[in-house]
Structure 1
Amino acid sequence: MKVYDKYIKDITKIGRFTMLLGLVVSFLPPLVMTLVFGFNPGLGAILAGAISQISVSGAFYFSEPISYFPIVGRAGLYMGFLSGNLVNMRIPAAVSALEGSGYKSGTDEGAIMGTIGIGVSIWVGIIFLLLSVFAGQTLLANLPESISRMLSLIIPALFGGVFAQFALKSPKSGIFALTIAFVMTKIVDIIPGKPSFIVTLVSVFATIAFAKRQLIRKIDNKEA
């Protein structure tokens, strides 16, 4: 067995255990509130909240693992989904690690570099989280209003930076992704209830299909 295969086998065991542990810990506070203190909103309210949340983020359960796996690999997905902030912190860190190392996404080496990037971002996040807990509120309260408004643009800027890095490698796929996302946004606006998850679901899988078609065409042209 290759070293990398053994690494993945061990990571899978640890990852499954930690994900199950995280699931138990996540449900522990509401279970304690319900069973120990007797606070319960009722089954109807719980189902209504669950359906509301699924309608918003349900598409991410399918699109994110498929989209991010080539960048971070199996270990990176376990770490990213357990630690959270996958889009606005973990993926940009993984992409930066890939770019800095020179390895390509979708390779074993690239997956390891992406995992290292996520690991570093988790530790950096913990350090800054501790700092923000003790001093962040005081600091933010004294920031000028112009800077506070600017901070709200951080996440869009991260999305744009990650998109640009990949769009430069495949401009046609980038243009297609922007076009299909824009079209789907307009379509969703006229659908009752405006199910925004459809934008993500269609945009991600349509772009994957388009990029795959471009890659196959490129390979066929080389072989011709």
Structure 2
Amino acid sequence: MENMENKMQTTELSPREEYHQEFLPQVHKIGATTMAIALILSLLPTIYFVFIKGIEVPLSTFISVMIAIFTFAIGMWLSEPAAFWPVLGSAGTYFAFLAGNASSMRLPVALTARSSIEGGDDLENPRTHVAMIIALFASVVVNLAILLSIVLIGDGLISILPASVLAAFNFVMPCLLANNILMQSKGPDGTIIKGFLKVLPYLLTGVAAQLLVKNVFTFLSNYGILLAVVLSVLVAYGFYRRDLAAHEKQNS
């Protein structure tokens, strides 16, 4: 009996060992499974409309939409998981990207949860992950409750809004784009003009690409965004080569 108790004591895992040996494998198993299920569910509307309702959509439309999304989001797909993982950890990363709003909502929630417990700066601390998971779950519940309320009352609310307010909704997207441009232009000192001048060449490149596909290369009308991204990358590479040459000249 005494030998059995000694054996149990020697085989008992510490919290950190249990975290690495038992918790993390389950996190990746459940996380990968739920992400795969979410991927399949995201395809169901398209499958329903195309194969059940019989709505015919040209293949070129699918390709152009995929290219547009890919060229717009590839930077975020590669950079955000790598940038957020040191803060969120494995469980938090699965949670944040499955629920959405990773940078604007889940990341601040995780940082707040980490700052509220002792040793929250240590990502290897199991308590850190427990606190973040609970906080992220609470944020998702609140987010869904607010979203559901807006969806349920949205139709009724729109029906009573005056026409002038409804017409103002057309300016939402330009305002969001302008806000993104200003955020990219804002420098560490809070000024905007200097940063905007750095962004301006890429804005002009994007506008020029759209004008080209609409007025000159009309056969590329479905690939305007792709052309804008490619030309912007070339412009950025040109600036990089210019700055590199200036740096080498200064050092020599």
TM class, shorter-length: 0.5 to 0.7
- Is 1:66 aligned with 2:69? no
Could you tell me which residue of structure 2 aligns to residue 195 of structure 1?
Answer: 229
Instruction: Give the drift of 1:136.
Output: 5.2
Percent of aligned positions that are identical: 24
- Is 1:96 aligned with 2:130? no
Query: How many pairs does the alignment contain?
Result: 177
Find the aligned partners of 2:96 and 2:138 in 1 and give their Cα distance.
11
What TM-score, normalized to structure 1? 0.63
Find the aligned partners of 2:132 and 2:201 in 1 and give their Cα distance.
35
Asked if 2 retains the 8 angstrom alpha-carbon contact of 1:105 and 1:111, the reply is no
Asked if 2 retains the 8 angstrom alpha-carbon contact of 1:76 and 1:111, the reply is yes
Could you tell me which residue of structure 2 aligns to residue 3 of structure 1?
Answer: 18
Deviations 1:96-121 (A, max 9, x none): 21222254456123444333321110
Find the aligned partners of 1:119 and 1:45 in 2 and give their Cα distance.
37
Could you tell me which residue of structure 2 aligns to residue 170 of structure 1?
Answer: none
Residues 1:183 and 1:4: Cα distance change in structure 2 (over 3 Å): farther
**Residue ranges of structure 1 left out of the alignment (5+ in a row):** 160-173, 203-224
Deviations 1:15-69 (A, max 9, x none): 1111110000000110121111211312111000111111111111101101110
Could you tell me which residue of structure 2 aligns to residue 210 of structure 1?
Answer: none
Answer with 105-114 or 86-95: which moved more.
Answer: 105-114
Asked if 1 retains the 8 angstrom alpha-carbon contact of 2:86 and 2:123, the reply is yes
Find the aligned partners of 2:159 and 2:52 in 1 and give their Cα distance.
37
Find the aligned partners of 1:137 and 1:106 in 2 and give their Cα distance.
47
Asked if 1 retains the 8 angstrom alpha-carbon contact of 2:110 and 2:135, the reply is yes
- Determine which of 47, 62, 76 is the counterpart of 1:46: 62
Task: Please list, as runs of the form range in 1=range in 2, the aligned pairs for 1:125-204 lying within 5 A after superposition.
Answer: 125-135=143-153, 138=156, 175=188, 185-192=199-206, 193=209, 194-195=228-229
Residues 1:34 and 1:93: Cα distance change in structure 2 (over 3 Å): same
Could you tell me which residue of structure 2 aligns to residue 23 of structure 1?
Answer: 39
Deviations 1:60-98 (A, max 9, x none): 110110111011111111111111122222122112212
Aligned alpha-carbon RMSD (Å): 3.8
- Is 1:116 aligned with 2:134? yes
- Determine which of 85, 101, 121 is the counterpart of 1:85: 101
Q: Structure with the greater relative contact order (CA < 8 A, sep ≥ 6): 1 or 2?
A: 1
Q: Give the greater-gyration-radius structure (CA).
A: 2
What TM-score, normalized to structure 2? 0.57
